[in-house]
Amino acid sequence: MTVVLTDRPTDQYQSQSQHHSAATSGESDPAEQEALEFLSKWKSLSSTQRKALHVVMDEIGLVSDLVESNITDISVTFRELAVHAQSQSDNVKDIVETSTHVEFDGKIVNLSEIIGMIDKHLSEVIGKLVDTSKKGLEVVFSLDDVVRDIGEIDKLITEIEGINKQTNLLALNARIEAARAGSAGKGFAVVAYEVQDLAKAVNQLATRMRGEISTISSGVKNGHNQIRKIADTDLSSNILAKDVIRGLMDCILDQNSHFTSALKASEQASKDISRDIAAVITRLQFQDRAKQRMENLTNTLTVMEQSLENFETETADTFSSALSWQETDEAWFRALVDRLTLGEMRDRFLSAVFPHEAAAGTEADAASDADKTGKADPNAGTDPDDDCDIELF
C-alpha cells in the first residue's frame, strides 16, 4: 500500500518539486529518483522512530510511576513492620524481665529464692516427721514399760491372794483350836472370826484390783497397738520426696534459664529486624534517584523526538509530496515489537505506530495474512505467553 503525504497543498508540492525534484518534470534522472526514494525511506523511518520514541517515553513514565507508587507502598509497609518489630522487641523485653521472678503476696520473689523457701519448708516438715517418729517410739517404749508393770502388779495380786489364803487357813485353825479350848477359847474364837472376815475382805479387794488392772491392761494394750501402728508407718518415702521436689524445681530453673536465653536472643533478633528495616527504608530512597534519571532520559528522548520531527518537517518542506513511505518499511519495528514480552506493552507500541491495528494482538501480526482485516485476535487476552498479569507475590 502506498501512502501519499497530504499535509502540504498540491500546488506547493508542485512548485517546490520544480526546484528539487525531477520526478514530476518528465525528465527524471534515475539517480535523483533513487535518492528521493531513499529519502522517503529515511523520512518513513524517522516518523516511525519518533512514534516509537514517544511510546518509549510514555513507557518510562509508566515505569517511573509504577516504581514510585510501589516503593511508596513498600515504604509504608516497612514502616509499619518497624513499628511491629519494635513492639515485639518491647514485649519480649518485658517477658525477659519478668521470667526470673514472680509476684507473691505483694512481694517480688526471685525463682531461686522460691526454691530456697520450698527447701526450708520441706526441711521443717522432714524434721517434724523424724521428731514424730522419735516421740512415737518413746510412747511405745513407755507403754512397753506400763504393760510390763501391769504384769508385775498382777503377780503381786496373786501373791496377796496366796497370803490371804494362808491367813484364811490360819483363822480356820485358830477357830478349831478355840473350840477345843472351850470357854477359855471363846475370845480367841472371836478374833479368829474377825481375821477370817478380814481375809475375805482382802480377797474381795484383790479380786476388784485384778478387775481394775485387767481393764487398765486392756486399755493400755489397745493404746500400745495403736501407737505401734502409727510408729510403724514408714514415712521415709515422704522424706525422700524432697529429692524429687528438688529435682523438679531444678528442672523448672533450667527450663526457665533456657527460655530466658531464647527470649533474650529473640529480643536481639527483633532489634536486628528493626535496624534492618530502617536500612531497607533508607535504601528505598533510590527511587528518587531513579525517578530523576528517568526524567532526564525522557527529556533527552523528547529532544531526540523533536530533532526527528524537525528533520521530517524540513524534509517535507523541501521535497513535499514527492516523498512517500511504504508500510512494509516498518518491518524492523514489527520485529522489535515481537521481542517485547509484555502483551499490553506490545499493544501500546503497535497502537502508537499503527493506530488502525490497535489491540490486534502481537502474535497475529507479523505474518498472518489472514488477519489483515484488522480484527483483534480473540485469543490475544489469554495468550499463555502474555505475562502482563503475572503476580510476583
Partner 1 sequence: MRNHTSNDNGILNITLSDRLTFEDHEAFRRLLTLIEQRSSLRCVIDLKNVTAIDSAGLGLLMIAFETAEKAGVEFCLKSPEGQVARLLEISEFDKVMTILN
Min separation Cβ 163 and partner 1, Å: 33
Binding of residue 140 to partner 1 (CB under 8 A): yes
Q: What is the DSSP letter of 1?
A: -
Kindly identify the residues of this chain, within the stretch 144-163, that bind partner 1 according to CB under 8 A: 144
Min separation Cβ 232 and partner 1, Å: 4
Q: Please, which contacts does 386-392 make with residues 24 or more away whose CB atoms are closer than 8 Å?
A: 386/342, 386/343, 387/341, 387/342, 387/343, 388/342, 388/343, 388/344, 388/345
Binding of residue 185 to partner 1 (CB under 8 A): no
Binding of residue 369 to partner 1 (CB under 8 A): no
Min separation Cβ 272 and partner 1, Å: 48
Stretch that binds partner 1, among 65-73, 136-144, 258-266, 341-349 (CB under 8 A): 136-144
Q: Report yes or no: 245 and 122 within 8 Å, Cβ to Cβ.
A: yes
Min separation Cβ 117 and partner 1, Å: 16
Binding of residue 73 to partner 1 (CB under 8 A): no
Strands (E) in 208-250, as ranges, are: none
Binding of residue 141 to partner 1 (CB under 8 A): yes
Cα separations in angstroms, 23 against 27, 126, 221, 320: 7, 127, 152, 12
Q: Which of 126, 278, 281, 345 binds partner 1 (CB under 8 A)?
A: 126
Helix (H, G, I), strand (E, B) or coil at 182: helix
Binding of residue 142 to partner 1 (CB under 8 A): no
Instruction: Give the H/E segment covering residue 325.
Output: strand 324-326
Binding of residue 243 to partner 1 (CB under 8 A): yes
Binding of residue 231 to partner 1 (CB under 8 A): yes
Binding of residue 240 to partner 1 (CB under 8 A): yes
Q: Which of 27, 234, 389, 391 binds partner 1 (CB under 8 A)?
A: 234
Cα separations in angstroms, 362 against 209, 341, 347, 357, 371: 132, 10, 7, 10, 11
Binding of residue 125 to partner 1 (CB under 8 A): no
Binding of residue 134 to partner 1 (CB under 8 A): yes
Residues 6+ positions from 118 with CB-CB distance below 8 Å = 245, 249
HSE on the CB side for 390, CA within 13 Å?
A: 10
Min separation Cβ 127 and partner 1, Å: 7
Stretch that binds partner 1, among 16-24, 73-81, 137-145, 260-268 (CB under 8 A): 137-145
Nearer to partner 1, 234 or 391 (CB): 234
Residues 324, 7: Cα–Cα separation, whole Å: 12
Stretch that binds partner 1, among 186-194, 232-240, 303-311, 330-338 (CB under 8 A): 232-240
Instruction: Give the H/E segment covering residue 103.
Output: strand 101-104
What do you get for the CA distance between the two ends of the chain, in Å? Answer: 47
Binding of residue 136 to partner 1 (CB under 8 A): yes
Q: Report yes or no: 329 and 351 within 8 Å, Cβ to Cβ.
A: no
Closest alpha carbon to 323 in 10, 1, 38, 25:
38
Reading the block at residue 378, the C-alpha cell is 480473540
Binding of residue 18 to partner 1 (CB under 8 A): no
Min separation Cβ 236 and partner 1, Å: 5
Residues 81, 89: Cα–Cα separation, whole Å: 12
Write down the residue that cell numbers 513514565 correspond to. Answer: 61
Binding of residue 242 to partner 1 (CB under 8 A): yes
Q: Which of 70, 110, 233, 268 binds partner 1 (CB under 8 A)?
A: 233
Binding of residue 137 to partner 1 (CB under 8 A): yes
Min separation Cβ 242 and partner 1, Å: 5
Q: Which of 235, 252, 335, 388 binds partner 1 (CB under 8 A)?
A: 235
Contacts with partner 1, residue ranges (CB under 8 A): 123, 126-127, 129-138, 140-141, 144, 228, 231-236, 238-240, 242-243
